[in-house]
Amino acid sequence: MNFNNLDCNVKYDEPLKNHTTFKIGGNCKILVEPKSVDNIIEILKICKNNNLNFFIIGNGSNLLVSDNGYDGVIIKLKENFSNIYLNDGYVVSQSGATLSEVFKFSMNNSLTGFEFASGIPGTIGGAVYMNAGAYGGEMKDVVSEVEVLDIDTLEQIVLKSENLHFDYRKSIVQERNYIITKVKLKLSVGDINEIRAVYLDLKEKRNSKQPLEFGSAGSTFKRPEGNFASKLIEDSGLKGYSVNDAMVSKKHSGFIVNVGNATCSDVLKLVDYVKKTVYEKYNVKLEMEVKILGE
Ligand SMILES: Cc1cc2nc3c(=O)[nH]c(=O)nc-3n(C[C@H](O)[C@H](O)[C@H](O)COP(=O)(O)OP(=O)(O)OC[C@H]3O[C@@H](n4cnc5c(N)ncnc54)[C@H](O)[C@@H]3O)c2cc1C
């Protein structure tokens, strides 16, 4: 196994709490930050030849990582895999660019339609994977096509928006062995001042409603049909309920926050308690939106 010959950052025995917005998670064996698709292919070949598990992360903003960490290789796309450019009127971005970077690039080119995503703290690859959305917009509205790397064949494939099977917090990538490498967005020409005004308004809404002062992975649960997880949790009297440093946010009951040194185990105990209480009171089964990594 030789990761050191790769022309990219390689870290050994790296704490994953430094790579997730929850600030939770034990160590991984190896963390690599590729710069190119060729780098990713080389990493995958090394993993396959050495029987190493691997997992892709963007900004780790929808992840809860086990206290035991991850026994394998984390391929982190945020940082070095983040070029953004204009091509024939489309905004094209490598998948590790953050939504905020892509939004700022779009705004500076007077392109409108991406304001909804400006405050979501993920990468554009993670956002396609999750069909991330906010304030009435979602990735499905703006993605024109996506380039993926097939992990099994190492081929690059272009998928049109209609073939991504976007649904609420879902895309086909969740069911396939694909790594999203590039995203092409179809935005409209707009007025930079109006775009900035919408952005500032949404930023203010987010700051006033979300507990951004603490670590979290955003909304812990998916929206149950015809209801809101945060309302059910609040109505169950769970606002501020905690297991050690994992707490149902006092500001927004849909978020479980890390108010200090919460562990993955604390969060999972709290999740179970919230699910059980909401089910007993309202007969609604909450499902986690946050992805869990490791044992
Ligand atoms: C404070 C806060 C607010 C949030 N607000 C919102 C919101 O308003 N709306 C919303 O939808 N979400 C929200 N989120 C959740 C999160 O930001 C989104 O789900 C985001 O899209 C995740 O992107 P990421 O790069 O961090 O993905 P990660 O957390 O790194 O990964 C999530 C999943 O995507 C996969 N993945 C990531 N990149 C790729 C890739 N290139 N190819 C293949 N698979 C990949 C990972 O393997 C993992 O399974 C919020 C989170 C926080 C902490």
Q: Put residue 226 in one of left, alpha, beta given phi > 0 → left and psi -120 to 50 → alpha.
A: left
Q: Domain limits of the chain?
A: 9-76, 84-194, 211-293
The pair phi, psi for residue 44, each rounded to 5°, is -65, -40
Note if 169 is an active site residue.
Answer: yes
Q: How far is the CA of 123 from the centre of ligand 1 (A)?
A: 7
Residue nearest to atom 2 of ligand 1 (CA): 218
Q: Determine if ligand 1 sits within 6 Å of the CB of residue 291.
A: yes
How much is the pLDDT for 2? 80
Q: How far is the CA of 280 from the centre of ligand 1 (A)?
A: 30
How much is the pLDDT for 4? 84
How much is the pLDDT for 79? 86
How much is the pLDDT for 170? 95
Chunked mean pLDDT (size 10), the chain, 295 residues: 85 98 98 96 96 97 98 96 97 98 98 98 98 97 98 97 96 97 98 98 97 98 95 98 98 98 98 98 97 92
Q: Determine if ligand 1 sits within 6 Å of the CB of residue 217.
A: yes
Q: Which of 118, 219, 230, 253 is catalytic?
A: 219
- CA-derived radius of gyration, the chain: 19
Terminal CA-CA length for the chain: 24
Q: Rounded to an integer, what distance in angstroms lies between the CA atom of residue 51 and that of residue 56?
A: 16
Maximum C-alpha span of the chain: 57
How much is the pLDDT for 7? 87
How much is the pLDDT for 146? 98
Pick the CATH number of 9-76 from 3.30.43.10, 3.40.50.2300, 3.90.420.10, 3.20.20.210: 3.30.43.10
How much is the pLDDT for 118? 98
How much is the pLDDT for 221? 97
How much is the pLDDT for 40? 97
Q: Determine if ligand 1 sits within 6 Å of the CB of residue 165.
A: no
Note if 289 is an active site residue.
Answer: yes
Q: Rounded to an integer, what distance in angstroms lies between the CA atom of residue 5 and that of residue 243?
A: 44
We find that the CATH architecture of domain 84-194 is 2-Layer Sandwich (3.30)
How much is the pLDDT for 169? 94
3-state secondary structure 55-95: EEECCCCCEEECCCCEEEEEEECCCCCCCEEEECCEEEEEC
52-77 tens-digit pLDDT:
999 999 999 999 999 999 999 999 99
Give the DSSP H or E segment for 149.
Answer: strand 143-150
How much is the pLDDT for 15? 98
How much is the pLDDT for 1? 62
CA of 96, closest atom in ligand 1: 41
Ligand 1 probe mutation, 82, 129, 159, 177, most atoms within 8 A of CB: 129
What is the assigned CATH class of domain 211-293? alpha beta
